[in-house]
Amino acid sequence: MHADGVVHRVAQHAVSRGSKIAVCEWDRGSPKETPYSELYREALRFAAFFSQQDPASSIVPLLAGKSAAAIAAMLGAMISGRPFCFLNPKYRGPQVAAVLRATRASVCALDSTGIVSIRGWVPNLAGQRALKWLWLDDEDPAGIAKQTFAELRSMGSVALHGELEPAPESEAMFKSPAEIGACLFTSGSSGEPKGVLVSTDDLVARTEAEVQWFGLSGSDVLLSILPFSFDVGLNQLLSALYVGAELVVLKSWLPADILAAVQDRSVTGISAVPAIWQDFLRSGLRFDTLGPRASLRYVTVSGGSLPPHVLGKLGGVVGRAGIFKTYGQTEAFRTTSLRPEELDAKPESVGKAFPGVRFYVVNENGSPCRPREVGEIVHTGLGVMRGYLGNRDLTAEEKRKLQPNPFRGAEDPSPWAVFTGDLGFVDEDGYLYLKGRRDSMAKIQGNRVYPLEVTAQLLAVPGVDDAVVLGFPRPEGDAVLVAFVVAARGSAPSAGWIRKELNLRLPSYMIPQRTVFVDSIPRTATGKPDENFLREHATEVARNAEAP
């Protein structure tokens, strides 16, 4: 029995301070508050339902927006000894079908947000095994959800949250936890999402590490902007529940909404990705961290890096709140983090090892690199995944991802290591710096070029609002660097002007040969540039350019 597990903590909060707000679904004027006692009660109802409906103890997919009901369903899965998996809200029918197939789910939770993902696709889900749907909302579906809901009903069984039996508030409801606690889906190079398996023990350990790192307590109020399908968003949720804090969930990603929610709920901590902070800088809005109602204590820059000159301006937005940079990936959770007090001295670094983690930078022969020598980052300890879900064929990259820990010994007992595929180096003080993806490195005129480095310089060019640089390998000869550029509002930099500016900042072999202007950089749900989309787009642009 995991007496220190997240659900046991929630059970304790429900008893010792049941009226404390656990979840606030924020909306201007009409926030919906759910106290710990109610969250726990609903979790037990869901647990009873899962135990009854799913004798196989399969993974419970949660195709739902961020709500108290969805969180209670997650806790219900945990209580009933089942792994859970939140689905990326951007998924559509084919990806949802792939997840349902891979998880062999017999129950899937759904709400008015999640149902948007499968509209027009229900007939294609008929091939699944008999799947039970659990409708999480209190209200019957309205508007756009109505027709899809009717289709689901006619196809199979749909249980309504409001009609579930009440469950006894007893620890007897708790089943021994599954070895696997959660499954996180991430985009796979094969085109189908792949499930990353996280053990229950590791899920608890990451939560405790985050609580320690950010100094969280029951008096914190955390703002949730990121989806729970993303490891950073999920861990923020688990940490808030663990300490009995309030989690304010936001449907919006817009600066003015974030600012209003922070003021309204006295938010103390925000986890966010670079794209959100870039929007903030463009908006000119800033947090009040000095006035009598100031509450914000820390923010994170997770899931990607902000170029140094942009990071420098972020201080003006967050005032006295501390900025934590974090670096990680789904297969290893969090490798490093840079503390606010280190930011001035090491602004370009992503920091040192996260609690419970060890990392190594290794060269092509697998030996540790010297300081400032670029190599692949290898992660051991906390956060290492259990492997990928299912028994499909792994790609070469997936096969090399999880390997026996080559550095295993008295100092590092971790049996497995994640080969991140990320390149970086450590400085003389042990701080890590990122240099892009292993597979993104391009050889140009005999030089190693890291597109991330070019992107950083491109973003510093006046008139460039957003940008990403990708290397396109060619069957013969050097790779071609292509810059995707979003022009700032009210300015129209030409490709020639950008090239001229880059000439002042970069060696000639690092200057992109082609510039493609786009309205916006498409990003994945985790805020990373959608490289696959951009690669296709570039091919299309090239084709059109060749047309007469």
Query: DSSP state, 509?
Result: G
- Identify the CA nearest to 452 among candidates 510, 367, 496: 510
**Residue selected from 284, 291, 292, 548 as contacting other proteins according to rule CB under 8 A:** 284
**Cα separation of 401 and 425, whole Å?**
19
Number of residues that bind other proteins (CB under 8 A): 26
Give the residue with the Cβ less far from other proteins, 251 or 499. 251
Binding string to other proteins for residues 92 to 131, with x set by CB under 8 A, is what?
--------------------xx--xx-x------------
Distances (CA, A) of 471 to 200, 330, 391, 437, 481: 39, 24, 32, 11, 4
Quick one: 276 or 458, whose CB is closer to other proteins? Answer: 276
Q: Supply the minimum distance, in Å, between the C-beta of residue 142 and other proteins.
A: 9
Q: Considering beta carbons, is residue 41 or 251 the nearer one to other proteins?
A: 251
In the bound state with other proteins, the residue whose beta carbon lies nearer, of 67 and 200, is 67
Q: How far is the CB of 259 from other proteins (least distance, A)?
A: 8
Q: Which is nearer to other proteins, 218 or 522 (CB)?
A: 522
Query: In this chain, which of 131, 155, 260, 506 binds other proteins, going by CB under 8 A?
Result: 260
Binding mask 362-401 for other proteins (x = CB under 8 A): ----------------------------------------
Whole-angstrom distance, CA of residue 247 vs CA of residue 249: 6
Residue 354 dihedral angles phi and psi, to the nearest 5°: -70, 155
Kind of pairing between the strands at 269-272 and 60-63? unpaired
CA–CA gap between residue 99 and residue 115 (Å, rounded): 15
Q: Which is nearer to other proteins, 258 or 426 (CB)?
A: 258
Q: Binding to other proteins (CB under 8 A): which residues in 218-257? A: 251-257
From the list 487, 485, 451, the residue with the least C-alpha distance to 470 is 451
Closest CB 31 distance from other proteins, rounded Å: 13
Nearest of 507, 516, 513, 510 to residue 541 by alpha carbon: 516
Q: How far apart are CA 203 and CA 333, in angstroms?
A: 10
Site string for other proteins, 32-71 (x = CB under 8 A): ---------------------------------x------
Q: Which is nearer to other proteins, 89 or 424 (CB)?
A: 89
CA separation for the pair 319, 316 (Å, rounded): 5
Nearer to other proteins, 257 or 531 (CB): 257
Q: Closest by alpha carbon to 216, among 190, 199, 235, 189? A: 235
98/308 Cα distance (integer angstroms): 39
Closer CB to other proteins, 6 or 249, in the complex? 249
3 state DSSP class of 197: strand
Adjacent-strand bridge partners of 246: 221
Question: Exposed, middle or buried by CB within 10 Å (0-12, 13-18, 19+), for 66?
Answer: buried
SS3 91: coil
The one among 82, 352, 435, 523 contacting other proteins by CB under 8 A: 523
The verdict on 143 binding other proteins (CB under 8 A) reads: yes
Site for other proteins in 422-451 (CB under 8 A): none
CB of 525 to other proteins, least distance (A): 10
Query: Counting contacts by CB under 8 A, is residue 160 touching other proteins?
Result: no
522 binds other proteins (CB under 8 A): yes
CB–CB of 205/349 below 8 Å?
no
Residues that bind other proteins (CB under 8 A): 28, 65, 89-90, 112-113, 116-117, 119, 143-144, 251-257, 260, 283-285, 519-520, 522-523
